Chains A and B, each alone.
Chain A
Amino acid sequence: MRRWLVRRTLQAALTLLIALVLLFLLIHILPGDPLAREGEHALTPEQTEALRARYGLDRPLFGQLAAFLGGLAKGDLGVSIQYGRPVTELLLERLPATALLGGTVLLLNFVLGVWLGVRQAVRKDSREDRWITTLSLAGYATPSFWLGIVLAGFVGVRWRLLPPAGMRDPLGGGTVATAVDILRHLILPALTLSIVSIAGTMRYQRAALLEVLRLPYIVTARAKGLPESMVIWRHAWRNALFPVLTLFGLWLPILVSGSVFVESVFAWPGLGSLAIGAVGNRDYPLLVGAAVLVAAVVVLGTWLSDVAYAVLDPRVRTS
Chain B
Amino acid sequence: MSTLREALGAVWRTPRGRAGMGFLAFLALLALLGPLALPEPFRQFDLEELANAAPSVDHPFGTDQLSRDVLSRVVSGARISLAVAALAVGLSVTLGAAVGLVAGYWGGVLDAVLMRLVDGALAVPRLFLLLLVLSVPDRVPLAALILLIGTTGWFATSRLVRAEVLRLREETFVRAAEALGASRRRVIFRHLLVNAAGPLLVAATLGVGDVILLEAGLSFLGLGVQPPTPSWGGMILDGRPVLEAAPWVSVFPGAAIILTVLATNLVGDALRDAFDPRGA
A and B touch in the complex (CB under 8 A): yes
Q: Chain B: interface secondary structure?
A: helix
Residues of B within 8 A of A302 (CB): 123
Query: Smallest CB–CB gap between A191 and chain B, Å?
Result: 16
* Binding stretch for chain B, among A103-111, A171-179, A292-300: A292-300
Task: Tell me if A15 and B116 are in contact (CB < 8 A).
Answer: yes
CA of A101 to CA of B170, assembled, Å = 46
Query: Smallest CB–CB gap between B46 and chain A, Å?
Result: 28
Task: Tell me if A26 and B133 are in contact (CB < 8 A).
Answer: yes
Q: In the complex, which residue of chain B has the Cβ closest to the Cβ of A29?
A: B133
Task: Tell me if B223 and A279 are in contact (CB < 8 A).
Answer: yes
Say if the beta carbon of A287 comes within 8 Å of chain B: yes
* Binding stretch for chain A, among B28-36, B51-59, B157-165, B253-261: B253-261
Report the tally of A-B residue pairs with Cβ distances under 8 A. Answer: 151
Task: Tell me if A19 and B127 are in contact (CB < 8 A).
Answer: no
Say if the beta carbon of B16 comes within 8 Å of chain A: yes
Known interface pairs A18-B116, A18-B120; A153-B243 also in contact (CB < 8 Å): yes
Say if the beta carbon of A237 comes within 8 Å of chain B: no
Task: Tell me if B123 and A145 are in contact (CB < 8 A).
Answer: no
Say if the beta carbon of B176 comes within 8 Å of chain A: no
Residues of A within 8 A of B262 (CB): 134, 137-138, 140-141
CA of A287 to CA of B244, assembled, Å = 34
Q: In the complex, which residue of chain A has the Cβ closest to the Cβ of B260?
A: A141
Which residues of A201-215 are within 8 A (CB) of B?
207, 210-211
CA of A144 to CA of B210, assembled, Å = 12
Q: In the complex, which residue of chain A has the Cβ closest to the Cβ of B232?
A: A143
What 1/0 mask marks residues of chain B from 204 to 242 whose CB sits below 8 Å from any chain A CB? 000001000100110011010000000001001000100
Task: Tell me if B257 and A141 are in contact (CB < 8 A).
Answer: yes
Size range of the chain A interface in the assembly? 35 or more
CA of A138 to CA of B132, assembled, Å = 30
Known interface pairs A137-B265, A257-B127; A149-B132 also in contact (CB < 8 Å): no
Task: Tell me if B233 and A143 are in contact (CB < 8 A).
Answer: yes
Residues of A within 8 A of B261 (CB): 140-141
Known interface pairs A141-B265, A143-B257, A145-B236; A298-B123 also in contact (CB < 8 Å): yes
Task: Tell me if A149 and B243 are in contact (CB < 8 A).
Answer: yes
A-B contact pairs, 18 of them (CB 8 A): A14-B116, A16-B120, A31-B137, A32-B136, A130-B16, A137-B269, A141-B209, A146-B250, A150-B254, A210-B280, A260-B128, A264-B221, A276-B131, A287-B131, A291-B132, A295-B123, A298-B123, A302-B123
